[in-house]
Structure 1
């Protein structure tokens, strides 16, 4: 706790939902008239302010220094120092520039947790109305303390966890905490079981949620960290972010490089000393070899490759917050996605009308904009059938408190999601509420309550008084004596109606019943539930939060790419399974794991067994999303988590890749995630997977180029030392070779476009090394060819009587040609060089030409050719060296053919 600025001392009731309101008030030493101002000040000192914790970040200087904790960086720092000692200022400056760029990029990774916590604080309202000293007053939300009596009104954001003491049609939007898109009707008089699911605690209202409708009051039972929202903030800050797979592979790779280079340089130094080579010359050679063989251009090339991937992703609606996350999405083996707002549009929509005889009408269009039609599924309907639909729609808007209207050219709506969806349905059928309420003036209403399970309206219809009712099917079924058919009202057939309701429910629809009666209570009677009987069942309405149009295709593309996709939601299992079936994610209940099942698991092994084959996680609480992610990671997955609410934040941070929705996402989700989908399109995640795989492939191409050429130089020098020949290249020539070839080509290779098969193979194993079998075979074969051919040229020229300087000149020119030819071999691990259009990567083509022209220019520049020890050669010698350089292409092409044969 010392890491946080706020202090929480929490002797509060552990299960306030399982105790009556009066008992909670007594336990907190409060009253229904609130506490005194003096007592509030005392409790403020005891519990601390109602603000979420802030992590104390390390200083900017410490963040910067931490970027140098890496084996490759250690070697590069040493190489820079060596270069300074021997006064190779340009090379020392180049290496230092690489180190600084690497450090600056790394500092961007340290702000995620703190910014996430800051975003969470914005979810708490700034002002709150409370009862203190018996009077209503308005205070800063941070001054709230346990025991305060808080007053809630429609449209307010809840500032703390409260146990309700009174409620009047109080509906709370808890989607940020539970992921459930439907508002929850709250009741103050309920006393619940201790293990009641978070989303079912009807007598509790939680910090960060929104009051959709109604009003209420309650006693504050938890503030700051003690709230459900505070628990999420703690998990976000304290949770350890997973390392991106590229960093894991790079760290492993650089450790090996440092060891290999260190041993090789030490061995060469010992051999050279034993042969009487001057120490100064050995020192210069060691520095040159270190700079040349160690891929110091790799950080820059890696940065360029990832930056290119970032730019490509931005064009496909994926914003990258951390550079290394470009490749991370391409490495994921599992995507755990939220349902509400990610796979669905988070707008409850009426999609089906079903009558007792099985006749069904489809409602086209989605969301809250009234564009669409109500169409009979059986063809052309009769006038009587149309009249029945109009009768149902009329009833649905007369018992309706929602609003739908056109304002400044835009459709606006407010009210309960069910009411709005019914207004949209009726509008599509040609029935507008504003016109209908004038024809059927409202006389009285009964609002929806959880105990009542329906709402009703008493209206004047000409000389008659009519009742219109909507509510839970099971409740209205008991209140109806007849049911409506096109031919007229008939005696109710309970089994037929239950069959229609069950079919809708099994398809994932929320079933709402609509009924009416012309036998309204007499004017002398009170309009109450006891007088609403003998209704006529008009029909059933199936509602659903519809899938995004592209969601099914996106899931299929993930499957084609070998990525498992699972849905994590707070919804009921039946609803979740129906959506999963529509998406092609699950076939039956064997693929579902529920939150209660996870809660009752005896140990981590049992949880891991549950998650191993699950594709749907239903009735899941926020803390369990984090447990699911960790379980999947224990099962060997690299996990990507998509989400948009505060409840997703801990899982977003713990996962290897956190993906937030840009439009509907909360601040905390966006600040916690590494990737943001700007169009809230699940399909964009798949595009991100493709671009991530392209970026990683380009990184491997750069590594192959740098390591194979560096290894070739080691082969060349090793052969020369063991055969007693002079050094084939001087230190300055090695540095020049490194500058004019790798210094240009590695960055140009990072611009390589897609090969077209990125989503046709499964993701890499999380444990796979950068140096896999193919890479090792390719590096060894190309390094041996380049090194041996260059050595044989050097030895042959000496045997033919050429001077050492002349032999070195030809050897350097051959090495330049080798590397300029070899870079085109690196464009693909599997496809032949001759199947690549050289113009698809013009930067590489022009970069290679420039590198060659620079070396030619050095051969004809008087002062530079003297420094480098180079000189022009004849055209015939150029052709001879070019033919030698092409040998590496022959070997690589043969190896690619061998790979194809081996895979078959």
Structure 2
């Protein structure tokens, strides 16, 4: 919490100032004195001076990048730097066609990447509703409606039901005020405010019941409070500061690609130096050495990779969008697929963030289950899987009636959708009553209300007096211990028997230990004279009807989604600000934890005196309860020290620091805050945890396709290097010139690698563990496959080139035949690239029709170039007979045989 001082600049945040206090730890009069304010608020002149001093009450928001910035950002890649160097080298050696080819491909890549990223950015902006916040503020003793951005420390603000709190307030007046603070604390149950209390300075934000925090929502009641902090000095501002100051964590693919391109750059540089040294020692002219270096660079660098990579990620982006996952930056497409640990928020992510009655325990001990979640009154009330017995129907109906009559909420259908107003607990009771068959509007019409006692946190109950069938009926609900003290009997079947308070209290405690929030319900007939006011003294001799167990229930798909993540080798941990008992109850349903040994609390984290101590806690913990926002950040950092690629999901502002620190941040789009969505890499539009699982699958498919494209390009590029090296060693003229190498890499292969990026899932993505975080793109299987295929292609192509020369063909004709063979090799290799382990013959060719058409198009384009004037001259190609083409095709099919043998050998190993 930011602090205040007693100087004329009251309210100014100065961390090193010695005159600082915590506003929740002092009486309201002292707070007003420190702020040089009063219960009548500031004058307009005072407010203007302070506004100039502190600035507007707004959190800084990043301006979305322009299309030009996004375009230029596409060139920030080591691989792009290598290609730019190759283009420059080509221009220096006047190889203008080579330079033009490389430059064109770089511009094409930047255009594709920019369009996709800009599209994703627009989709994100569409999720965020920009609303100008208004508030009611006292100025010179008069209440004005003003923009919340003009608030300053010392202003007095009026709150009422439905308002969003505009700044951090120290409350000094509150009438039945309940505020939903789940945005900050993760607690799904709203907090009752008690302005007269003075709290310990170390009280955590979630327990500061005399404060109202910026961004939280008033569920009911009215209150007055003085502004103590605005903008970045608020609690939500502190979270924003953590987000703004923390560097962006690089995505897994970006880290792997950077390692890959560094190795390519190192290899090209060393190889160029070796070739240059050998050539210079042989007395080769400098111009010829430059020519050799360009040819080497062109053959070694996968020029088509930037475009193919961008296309593969763009396809993944579209597929993820179809499964309710919006990707904010293209490079983050595969991030979920690479994660080894998901740290998920509980409230609103795993749960529906709506209090729901799930258990009814009648006075006789009968336990009834309530199906359904949230405010939609679908689902039945059952006992042992069937309908309640006749003995339970009467007390159940009485309980539901009392819960409705003593209720201040409303549940209605508007425009085909269920909407609710009022306290979350009251709404939950109305939903439960609907499942019994009682509708509040009809019941209140049949049983007119005579008097009420509204709920106050000090009372711990609410009551209503209604005329029911000619009698005066009192209905009461509240804390079990409070209600039991009012009762002398209990409803058992159709009778009222002497109450067994001790037994009922034990049952209530047992339900609370299971994570339920408990409520008791009672009723009784009373005598009440007309126009008299009911008092608490009359609440005695009532009949106890039963207990209601309420929870913020799991989303229906959460348990299966978590189980599927674990089957996919992903560790799932839950981080929540909720009570340990509640957290454990949810964790047991998710099968994340069996007992409290798997739970670490925020207090435990504070006791960890070092990173090593914290790491010991996070090594085995599966649930973190009462965790503060900064602690969520520390948990993520600790998991990363354990070697995990961490994904964090959440919806509140309290999740933002952790969302940014993780390798991939996942925000909830439907109920998530703007702070969370701005910070995250991915946004789940339906707030469904199973969509995270879908994102994992699509991320793995995207990464698998990236590897397939890289294998295709690197293996064919390596084959060109083998061909180049054999010619250099034997002193043979280069089998292919630089422009022919570019034609292979960018045009014929470029069509196929883009088609390969459209490969569908192989089907086992979620049955295999994630790749180790430190594993490079080039792991053992890819290295073997590249070496085998490169040596096969390079040696066969070189042998053909030598044979053609020995048969008396000119060097141009020999190059023409060799180039055609290389194109055919590429046509075969693209089908070898469809899977690292599965045989070509186990893949249905029509599952990716683009690959068939792309391969055919690549071959036809090359044949067409032989007949195209100008292009054939630049490429130095000429037509060949069908018989010659068929012979070369048979040679190329040898590659298919070799790679099938390698896959079979690898599979057995």
**TM-score of the pair, normalised by structure 2:** 0.92
Change (3 A) 1:861 1:281: farther
Given the alignment of the two structures, is residue 470 of structure 1 paired with residue 477 of structure 2, yes or no? yes
Post-superposition CA distance 1:817-858 (Å, at most 9, x none): 222212211111111122122222222222222222233334
Given the alignment of the two structures, is residue 49 of structure 1 paired with residue 46 of structure 2, yes or no? no
What is the distance in 2 between the residues matched to 1:93 and 1:678?
A: 43
Q: Secondary structure at the match of 2:485?
A: helix
What is the distance in 1 between the residues matched to 2:630 and 2:585?
A: 24
Match of 1:77 among 78, 84, 99: 84
What is the distance in 1 between the residues matched to 2:397 and 2:530?
A: 27
Change (3 A) 1:525 1:739: closer
Q: Secondary structure at the match of 2:349?
A: helix
Match of 1:257 among 261, 264, 267: 264
Question: Match for residue 4 of structure 1?
Answer: none
Question: 1:750-899 maps to which residues of 2 (within 5 A)?
Answer: 750-861=757-868, 864-899=871-906
Question: Match for residue 646 of structure 2?
Answer: 639
Match of 2:695 among 688, 696, 700: 688
Question: Match for residue 27 of structure 1?
Answer: 34
Change (3 A) 1:602 1:766: same
Given the alignment of the two structures, is residue 326 of structure 1 paired with residue 338 of structure 2, yes or no? no
Given the alignment of the two structures, is residue 557 of structure 1 paired with residue 564 of structure 2, yes or no? yes
1:380 offset after TM fit, Å? 5.6
Q: Secondary structure at the match of 2:767?
A: coil
Question: Match for residue 244 of structure 1?
Answer: 251
Question: Match for residue 746 of structure 1?
Answer: 753
Question: 1:586-625 maps to which residues of 2 (within 5 A)?
Answer: 586-625=593-632
1:554 offset after TM fit, Å? 0.8
Match of 2:525 among 515, 518, 523: 518
Assess if the C-alpha contact under 8 Å between 2:514 and 2:585 holds in 1: yes
What is the distance in 1 between the residues matched to 2:86 and 2:12?
A: 51
What is the distance in 1 between the residues matched to 2:346 and 2:125?
A: 24
Match of 1:350 among 324, 344, 357: 357
Match of 1:420 among 427, 433, 457: 427
Question: Match for residue 4 of structure 2?
Answer: none
Post-superposition CA distance 1:72-93 (Å, at most 9, x none): 2222112222333455555433
What is the distance in 2 between the residues matched to 1:166 and 1:714?
A: 79
Q: Secondary structure at the match of 1:33?
A: coil
Question: Match for residue 226 of structure 2?
Answer: 219
Assess if the C-alpha contact under 8 Å between 1:467 and 1:520 holds in 2: no
What is the distance in 1 between the residues matched to 2:483 and 2:598?
A: 34
Change (3 A) 1:523 1:23: farther
What is the distance in 2 between the residues matched to 1:31 and 1:121?
A: 35
Match of 1:539 among 543, 546, 557: 546
Change (3 A) 1:863 1:126: closer
Assess if the C-alpha contact under 8 Å between 1:701 and 1:749 holds in 2: yes
**TM-score of the pair, normalised by structure 1:** 0.92
Change (3 A) 1:380 1:130: closer
Given the alignment of the two structures, is residue 443 of structure 1 paired with residue 453 of structure 2, yes or no? no
Question: Match for residue 306 of structure 2?
Answer: 299
Assess if the C-alpha contact under 8 Å between 2:67 and 2:118 holds in 1: no
Post-superposition CA distance 1:358-377 (Å, at most 9, x none): 21223333321333333343
Given the alignment of the two structures, is residue 369 of structure 1 paired with residue 357 of structure 2, yes or no? no
What is the distance in 2 between the residues matched to 1:735 and 1:139?
A: 64
5+ residue gaps, structure 2: 1-10
What is the distance in 2 between the residues matched to 1:300 and 1:729?
A: 24
Change (3 A) 1:309 1:55: closer
Assess if the C-alpha contact under 8 Å between 1:728 and 1:794 holds in 2: yes
Assess if the C-alpha contact under 8 Å between 2:93 and 2:287 holds in 1: no
Given the alignment of the two structures, is residue 143 of structure 1 paired with residue 150 of structure 2, yes or no? yes
Post-superposition CA distance 1:846-885 (Å, at most 9, x none): 2222222233334455665554444444555444433332
Given the alignment of the two structures, is residue 502 of structure 1 paired with residue 509 of structure 2, yes or no? yes
What is the distance in 1 between the residues matched to 2:234 and 2:821?
A: 70
Question: Match for residue 284 of structure 1?
Answer: 291
Given the alignment of the two structures, is residue 40 of structure 1 paired with residue 47 of structure 2, yes or no? yes
What is the distance in 2 between the residues matched to 1:41 and 1:873?
A: 85
Larger CA deviation: 225-234 vs 487-496: 487-496
Match of 1:665 among 645, 669, 672: 672
What is the distance in 1 between the residues matched to 2:472 and 2:852?
A: 84
1:630 offset after TM fit, Å? 2.0
What is the distance in 2 between the residues matched to 1:408 and 1:71?
A: 54
1:574 offset after TM fit, Å? 1.3
Question: Match for residue 3 of structure 2?
Answer: none
Post-superposition CA distance 1:683-736 (Å, at most 9, x none): 111111111111111111111111111111111121222222222223333333
Assess if the C-alpha contact under 8 Å between 1:749 and 1:844 holds in 2: yes
Assess if the C-alpha contact under 8 Å between 2:465 and 2:472 holds in 1: yes
Post-superposition CA distance 1:165-203 (Å, at most 9, x none): 111010111121122222211111122222323222111
What is the distance in 2 between the residues matched to 1:31 and 1:23?
A: 10
Question: Match for residue 212 of structure 2?
Answer: 205
Change (3 A) 1:462 1:692: closer
1:63 offset after TM fit, Å? 7.0
Assess if the C-alpha contact under 8 Å between 1:330 and 1:696 holds in 2: yes
Q: Secondary structure at the match of 1:886?
A: helix
Question: 1:373-392 maps to which residues of 2 (within 5 A)?
Answer: 373-377=380-384, 379=386, 381-392=388-399
What is the distance in 1 between the residues matched to 2:106 and 2:625?
A: 48
5+ residue gaps, structure 1: 1-6
Post-superposition CA distance 1:747-778 (Å, at most 9, x none): 12111121111111111112111111111111
What is the distance in 2 between the residues matched to 1:16 and 1:138?
A: 25
Change (3 A) 1:861 1:145: closer
Q: Secondary structure at the match of 2:848?
A: helix
Larger CA deviation: 88-97 vs 196-205: 88-97
What is the distance in 2 between the residues matched to 1:71 and 1:14?
A: 51
Change (3 A) 1:188 1:863: closer
Change (3 A) 1:319 1:122: closer
Given the alignment of the two structures, is residue 704 of structure 1 paired with residue 707 of structure 2, yes or no? no
Provide the alpha-carbon RMSD of the alignment: 3.0
Question: 1:726-737 maps to which residues of 2 (within 5 A)?
Answer: 726-737=733-744
1:263 offset after TM fit, Å? 2.2
Equivalences, count:
895
Given the alignment of the two structures, is residue 719 of structure 1 paired with residue 712 of structure 2, yes or no? no
Change (3 A) 1:371 1:572: same
What is the distance in 2 between the residues matched to 1:90 and 1:521?
A: 100
Question: Match for residue 585 of structure 1?
Answer: 592
Assess if the C-alpha contact under 8 Å between 1:18 and 1:191 holds in 2: yes
Question: Match for residue 195 of structure 2?
Answer: 188
Question: Match for residue 401 of structure 1?
Answer: 408
Change (3 A) 1:110 1:817: closer
What is the distance in 1 between the residues matched to 2:875 and 2:56?
A: 70
Question: Match for residue 275 of structure 2?
Answer: 268
Larger CA deviation: 268-277 vs 543-552: 268-277
Question: Match for residue 8 of structure 2?
Answer: none
Post-superposition CA distance 1:14-58 (Å, at most 9, x none): 422222222222222322222333333333333332222356899
Assess if the C-alpha contact under 8 Å between 1:356 and 1:496 holds in 2: no
Q: Secondary structure at the match of 1:131?
A: strand
What is the distance in 2 between the residues matched to 1:138 and 1:679?
A: 35
Change (3 A) 1:710 1:380: closer
